[in-house]
Amino acid sequence: MSVFPGRLRKVTLGGRRKAQGASAAPEREAVAGMADVAPADIASNDPIIAYFQAASGAVDLEGLELESPARDALRAAGVKMVVPLVSQGELIGLLNLGPRLSEQEYSTDDRKLLTNLASQAAPAVRVGQLVREQQAEARSRERIDQELRVATLVQQQFLPKELPELGGWEVAAHYRPAREVSGDFYDFIELPEGRIGIVAGDVTDKGVPAALVMATTRSILRGEATHAAGPGEVLRRANDLLVPDIPPQMFVTCLYGVLDPATGRFRYANAGHNLPYVATADGVVEMRARGMPLGLMPGMDYEEKEGTIGPGESVLLHSDGLAEAHSPDGEMFGFPRVMKLMEGSGGGSEMIDVLLEELDRWHGRDAEQEDDITLVTLKRSASAGVTMSADEPQEELTSTAPAAPGRTSSNGRADDSVQVLDEFTLASEEGNERLVMERVTGAVAGLPLGSKRLERLKTAVAEATMNAIEHGNQNKAELPVSVRVMATDDDVQVHITDLGGANEVPDDTETPDLEAKLAGMQTPRGWGLFLIKNMVDDMQVTTDGDHHTIELTLHLKGDGNDD
Amino acid sequence: MAQRTLEMQVRKPHEGSAIVDVKGDITGASEDILMDAYNQAEGARAIILNFEGLDYMNSGGIGLLVTLLVRAKRQHQKIFAFGLTEHYRQIFELTRLDDAIGIYATEADAVAAVNS
């Protein structure tokens, strides 16, 4: 540990310090040989530092020929002789001596004695300095610990003290912070007509600021939950309230759902949190809804969906700490593993136990937990309300989604770095391609996509949407067109899906030819696919029997196609 | 739902040519308006399409332009255009519409080309 020259510590000979320190003139009546100077503030560029550092013993200031403000200051303070204290090559202090009381000059013996003394004193002074530094560090650590204790206190204050009691449901929650303070939170909010609001959230960052943001978010959600119409509206309002107040770089992912315990209906919206999973007899399904994390941008909309949790089924809300835990050799626990474990678990609190046991076994019980783990589950008892939910359509439990986002890109390569920017559906009505164009334009606004490429993307998206509306969904307004906008480091991808999987994929062998068209040999129309192909860098068409998807890829950086 | 608007006004500032000022979207739904404008331009040797007010054109709109070209060809009329953005100009090139429609930057350029 180095000592900065500017903070050299003064060492004085003799036992007494003058109360008023510093700039006093030399005082002969003081204790022998003592000169009292202010703590030597020697500028780091003062040549005297190098001189002292290299000196082999006591230095007579009288004879020191050096352009040095520090020398002048020492002289002015009555210092005659300086003995540098050097430890391990570093100047750590000065022994400053005034004139001898006998008014004689310092003798050779005096100098020897002082030099000897300095060589022994230096290490001792160094040790003293280190001790003081460590004490300072310990104090600062204690402050941090104290801060963490405060944050923990704030946070625990706001976690539910008890779980709600819902007839016909088993509610269980597990909360395990990574360090002392977690960014995770969850909440249950009692709503009219016996419904219950369920919150699972994660504040980026840790510590006191995160705890305060968590507390704020929780309060806002509680307030809005009782006023706003549905979960999407609750998140929309919460986002607008949080944006102005949240510290930069901080945001909150949050799932908010409203459960009607009587019917099992679960209406939910998601601000970038992990998708809830439902364990059913036929496997585990995801509850998808699109939305940006809270606190990033004002004016965001949150897709609202509804599913039904049937008798015997369990819904799991979970934070990143589970699926994103790593094994000692760096493998991620992963969402597929979570889903698989849920399948055979029996649901409810048993399911939480299964998940945690497997996690412990898998990343080692002694391994330090990387992130907070929060698991909330609601299990509907097998006997409850069968008749009430039998006719509930489950279409919104979108296990029917044509392709899981982020698993594979259009070229088939596994790609973990795909980021979903937006996902939405529209009715199959003529003209809606313009809405898709506008929404996609908004979704890619943050990408480094040049204006020419953006125009090309818009045209391709519009044409693909028109195809989906007209050909895939046969202009049946009630059939949705699903659009997913994704980005990787290099590409923007838009997948446009219709329900025309059973229809034949349009044959694109006939390239439209203007002369043939003008001569009446081809229909004047039929430009759509031709345009799409020429607008994007890659176009793939996939079909799975029900769905038909056009996958558009445009490189973010131009490759000459812009000309 | 998306408000889709299209207006076409026909001017005849010069002998023998008609200028159609396009404002809005040209899509497959634009047939009536486009053909109405074409009928108003009757008698003109040259029809000049002013695309300065074009917001959006899709493949359906391109198909209609092809139909317009077919009709104009039968009447021995020529079609010119000006005011296209770079993007739509590129689309005219891709579809080779620019072979059949003379593309110019400004109205003055297009009028000059008609009269040359």
Is A450 inside any structural domain? Answer: yes
Cβ–Cβ contact B93 with A under 8 A: no
In terms of pTM, does the model score above 0.95? Answer: no
Q: Are the beta carbons of B70 and A523 separated by less than 8 Å?
A: no
Q: Which residue of B has its CA nearest to A462?
A: B58
Mean pLDDT of chain B: 90
CA distance A524 to chain B (A): 5
CATH 3.40.50.300 assigned to B17-115: no
Cβ–Cβ contact A550 with B under 8 A: no
Chain B hits for A437, Cβ within 8 Å: 56
Mean pLDDT score, A83-103:
86
- The domain locations on chain B are 17-115
Same domain, yes or no: A172 and A283: yes
Confidence at A26, pLDDT banded by 50, 70, 90: very low
Q: Which residue of A has its CA nearest to B4?
A: A431
Cβ–Cβ contact B28 with A under 8 A: yes
Chain B hits for A517, Cβ within 8 Å: 66, 70
Same domain, yes or no: A385 and A431: no
Chain B hits for A459, Cβ within 8 Å: 58, 87, 91
Containing structural domain, residue A22: 5-132
> What is the 8-class DSSP label of residue A297?
S
Same domain, yes or no: A461 and A506: yes
Q: Are the beta carbons of B95 and A512 separated by less than 8 Å?
A: yes
Is A147 inside any structural domain? Answer: no
* B69-72 CB contacts, 8 Å cutoff, 24+ apart: B69/A518, B69/B97, B69/B100, B69/B101, B70/A517, B70/A518, B70/A520, B70/A524, B71/B38, B72/B38, B72/B47
- B93-103 pLDDT, tens digit per residue, is 999 999 999 99
- A175-192 pLDDT, tens digit per residue, is 887 765 568 899 999 998
Residue A505: the pLDDT is 54
The ipTM (two decimal places) reads 0.91
Dihedral sign for Cα atoms in the order A75, A78, A81, A82: negative
- A230-240 pLDDT, tens digit per residue, is 999 999 999 99
Mean pLDDT score, A466-487:
88
Nearest by CB to residue B97, choosing from A429, A514, A534, is A514
**E strands in A222-264:** 252-260
> What is the 8-class DSSP label of residue A61?
S
How many angstroms separate the CA atoms of A34 and A54, rounded? 24
Same domain, yes or no: A484 and A549: yes
Residue A416: the pLDDT is 45
Dihedral sign for Cα atoms in the order A544, A545, A546, A550: positive
Beta carbons within 10 angstroms of residue A21's beta carbon: 13
Domain containing residue A12: CATH number = 3.30.450
- Name the most confidently modeled range: A38-42, A305-309, B75-79, B81-85: B81-85
Mean pLDDT score, B51-68:
93
Cβ–Cβ contact B1 with A under 8 A: yes
Hey, which residues 441-460 in chain A have their CB within 8 Å of chain B?
452, 455-456, 459
Q: Are the beta carbons of B87 and A455 separated by less than 8 Å?
A: yes
Q: Are the beta carbons of B70 and A518 separated by less than 8 Å?
A: yes
Same domain, yes or no: A524 and A448: yes
**E strands in B1-116:** 6-14, 17-26, 46-57, 78-82, 102-104
Number of domains in chain A: 3
Q: Are the beta carbons of A430 and B29 separated by less than 8 Å?
A: yes
Same domain, yes or no: A110 and A12: yes
Domain containing residue A207: CATH number = 3.60.40.10
Between A2 and B116, the more confident residue is: B116
